[in-house]
Structure 1
């Protein structure tokens, strides 16, 4: 019996989710735990418009779970999720990269929890809310002035580091440059002169 890390994704009707999310969350976690799964991380995604109607529903809420379980228990988890009337769709995946993805999601959730609520931020007066000559938006200015560490962390998270490849200088490139001969413009023919 081998335990592996799995990702489970459940889709719930938005109207059902708004009526009692805590019960739904415990039900989905219960499906995993009843078959020997150990929850490592779970996350509720915000309500979204679906690409197409599922069971007459246009909006849904996703619930993501990372869990460790025996490989043989996944089939029975899928069956229980498919038979549950409150779960519109479910997906269970086991991939090699899930460990890193789970850690990344935990870090993002921790950063969001550490950031202050934007609605509680102090209001700026209208004179300072105009754009500066540099073209910065007021929101960017206030984030940089009020919370430089949070702004730096947010910029770091949104802009991945890009490193430019550095060409190694070898004797071959120097020899190729030495062989290059400047070509003078050919003299104009009599047809082009006229």
Structure 2
């Protein structure tokens, strides 16, 4: 029976988390441990995050991330247990960690201590532009391509025009 390392990101009902955060955390742990899992790391990810669209009539959600070792043949059963927790878990996303990255991921998760390292990393990554012509979309530091003018037609985001319309368009 192969034991794998998993990461589950939970989107939780923020009213239940604000009322009893430790109780909610314990409830998540109980679900995993009752099925035979071993919790490695468990911590809040983000409280009262505004959602893009309402989920179960909730406009906000609290994120919690859990890393655990679990028997891979029982993962589908655990996912069903998560789905049955409708009043608590709004959504969840489970990923199996690649063994070659497992130690590094767990080290970062242990050292983060709620400082938002991962969130800051995503914000920094969003600030870096990517060059679509580069192989693999290599990142380009901001300001490097400032001397390149934008396309004349606005980037091609509009409707497609035929030859006649292109010829009639004044420059």
Q: SS at 2:113's partner residue? A: helix
The aligned residue for residue 112 of structure 2 is: 108
d(CA) in 2 for partners of 1:99 and 1:7? 13
Structure 1 segment 30-49 matched on structure 2, within 5 A: 30-47=30-47, 48-49=49-50
More strand by share: 2
- Residues 109-162 of structure 1, C-alpha deviation per residue, up to 9 Å, x if partnerless? 29x5xxxxxxxxxxxxxxxxxxxxxxxxxxxxxxxxxxxxxxxxxxxxxx9xxx
CA contact (8 A) 1:41 1:65 kept: yes
Answer yes or no: is 1:93 the counterpart of 2:95.
yes
CA contact (8 A) 1:5 1:99 kept: no
d(CA) in 1 for partners of 2:102 and 2:6? 7
Q: Which runs of 5+ in 1 are unaligned?
A: 113-158, 160-194
Aligned length: 112
The aligned residue for residue 57 of structure 1 is: 58
**TM-score, with structure 2 as normaliser:** 0.61
- The structure whose RCO (Cα within 8 Å, separation 6+) is larger is 2
Point out the structure with max Rg over C-alpha: 1
CA RMSD, 1 decimal: 1.7
Q: SS at 2:12's partner residue? A: strand
Runs (4+) of structure 1 exceeding 2 A deviation are none
More helix by share: 1
d(CA) in 2 for partners of 1:49 and 1:99? 32
Structure 1 segment 1-194 matched on structure 2, within 5 A: 1-47=1-47, 48-85=49-86, 86-96=88-98, 97-109=101-113
Q: Which runs of 5+ in 2 are unaligned?
A: 116-123, 125-171
d(CA) in 2 for partners of 1:73 and 1:80? 11
**TM-score, with structure 1 as normaliser:** 0.54
- Residues 6-49 of structure 1, C-alpha deviation per residue, up to 9 Å, x if partnerless? 00111111112111111111110111111110001011123211
Deviation at 1:56, TM superposition (A): 1.1
